[in-house]
Chains A and B, each alone.
Chain A
Amino acid sequence: MISAKQHISVLVRNDPGVLQRVSGLFSRRSYNIDSITVGVSEKENLSRMTVVANGDDDQIRQLCNQLRKLIDVIHVEHLSNRPAVARELLLVKLISDPATKAEMNSIVQTFRCSIIDVGMHSIIVQVIGDREKNDAFLQLIRPYGILEITRTGETAMARG
Chain B
Amino acid sequence: MITELPISGSEILLRMLLLEGVECVFGYPGGSVLYIYDAMHGNPDFRHILTRHEQGAIHAADGYARSTGKVGVCLATSGPGATNLVTGIATAHMDSVPLVVITGNVPTDLIGTDSFQEADIVGITQPITKHNFFVRNVEDLARTIREAFYIAQSGRKGPVLVDIPKDVSAAVTKFSYPEQLLVRDLTPREQVDTPTQIESLLAALRASEKPLILAGGGIVYSGASDALIEFVKRTEIPIVTSLLGLGGYPSEGPLWLGMPGMHGTYAANQALIQCDLLLSIGARFDDRVTMKLDQFAPHARIAHIDIDAAEIGKLVPTSIAICGDAKDILLRMNRFLTDPLQVKRSWVDHVMAMKREFPLSYEDSEEVLKPQYVIEMISRTTNGEAIITTDVGQHQMWTAQYYRFKHPRSLITSGGLGTMGFGFPSAIGAQIGNPGKIIVSINGDGGMQMCAQELAICAIDRIPVKIVILNNETLGMIKQWQELIYDKRYSHIDLSGSPDFVKLANAYGVPAGRATTKEEAEKLWQEALSSPGPFLIDFVIAKDELVYPMVPQGAGLQEMIVGGKPR
From B130, B134, B314, A62 is in contact (CB under 8 Å) with B314
- What's the Cα separation between A64 and B156 when bound, in Å? 17
Q: Chain A residues near B186 (CB, 8 Å)? A: 71
Contact indicator B310/A69 (Cβ below 8 Å): yes
Which residues 53-76 of A have a CB within 8 angstroms of B? 58, 61-62, 65-66, 68-72, 74
- What's the Cα separation between A62 and B314 when bound, in Å? 7
From B126, B134, B183, B314, A20 is in contact (CB under 8 Å) with B126
Contact indicator A68/B310 (Cβ below 8 Å): yes
Please tell me if B300 contacts chain A, counting CB pairs below 8 Å: no
Which residues 26-72 of A have a CB within 8 angstroms of B? 28, 58, 61-62, 65-66, 68-72
Q: Chain A residues near B134 (CB, 8 Å)? A: 16-17
Please tell me if A24 contacts chain B, counting CB pairs below 8 Å: yes
- What's the Cα separation between A47 and B203 when bound, in Å? 44
Contact indicator B126/A71 (Cβ below 8 Å): no
Closest to A72 in B: B131
Q: Chain A residues near B122 (CB, 8 Å)? A: 17
Contact indicator A17/B126 (Cβ below 8 Å): yes
Contact indicator A21/B126 (Cβ below 8 Å): yes
Contact indicator A68/B309 (Cβ below 8 Å): yes
Contacts known (A17-B122, A20-B123, A20-B126); A71 close to B310, Cβ less than 8 A: no
- What's the Cα separation between A28 and B310 when bound, in Å? 15
Min Cβ gap B180→A in Å is: 14
Contact indicator B309/A65 (Cβ below 8 Å): yes
Which residues 332-387 of B have a CB within 8 angstroms of A? none
- What's the Cα separation between A66 and B184 when bound, in Å? 16
Please tell me if B308 contacts chain A, counting CB pairs below 8 Å: yes
Contacts known (A61-B313, A62-B313, A66-B310); A28 close to B123, Cβ less than 8 A: no
Contact indicator B151/A24 (Cβ below 8 Å): no
Min Cβ gap A22→B in Å is: 11
- What's the Cα separation between A24 and B132 when bound, in Å? 14
Q: Chain B residues near A21 (CB, 8 Å)? A: 126
From A28, A61, A68, A71, B127 is in contact (CB under 8 Å) with A28
Q: Chain B residues near A70 (CB, 8 Å)? A: 131
Per DSSP, chain B at the interface is: loop
Q: Chain B residues near A72 (CB, 8 Å)? A: 131
Which residues 115-142 of B have a CB within 8 angstroms of A? 122-123, 126-127, 130-131, 134
Contacts known (A17-B122, A62-B313, A62-B314); A69 close to B308, Cβ less than 8 A: yes
- What's the Cα separation between A17 and B151 when bound, in Å? 18
Which residues 153-210 of B have a CB within 8 angstroms of A? 156, 182-184, 186
Q: Chain A residues near B310 (CB, 8 Å)? A: 62, 65-66, 68-69
Q: Chain B residues near A71 (CB, 8 Å)? A: 130-131, 151, 183-184, 186
Min Cβ gap A55→B in Å is: 13
Min Cβ gap A150→B in Å is: 27
- What's the Cα separation between A68 and B126 when bound, in Å? 16
- What's the Cα separation between A70 and B151 when bound, in Å? 11
Which residues 64-111 of A have a CB within 8 angstroms of B? 65-66, 68-72, 74
Closest to A21 in B: B126
Q: Chain B residues near A69 (CB, 8 Å)? A: 156, 308, 310
Min Cβ gap A91→B in Å is: 31
Add 16 more A-B contacts to A65-B310, A68-B309, A69-B308 (CB < 8 A): A13-B182, A16-B134, A17-B123, A17-B126, A17-B134, A24-B126, A58-B313, A58-B317, A61-B313, A62-B310, A62-B313, A65-B309, A69-B156, A71-B131, A71-B184, A72-B131
Measured CB to CB, the residues of A under 8 A from B are 13, 16-17, 20-21, 24, 28, 58, 61-62, 65-66, 68-72, 74
Measured CB to CB, the residues of B under 8 A from A are 122-123, 126-127, 130-131, 134, 151, 156, 182-184, 186, 308-310, 312-314, 317
18 A-B Cβ contacts within 8 A? A16-B134, A17-B122, A17-B123, A17-B126, A17-B134, A20-B126, A21-B126, A24-B127, A62-B310, A65-B312, A68-B309, A69-B310, A71-B130, A71-B131, A71-B183, A71-B184, A71-B186, A72-B131
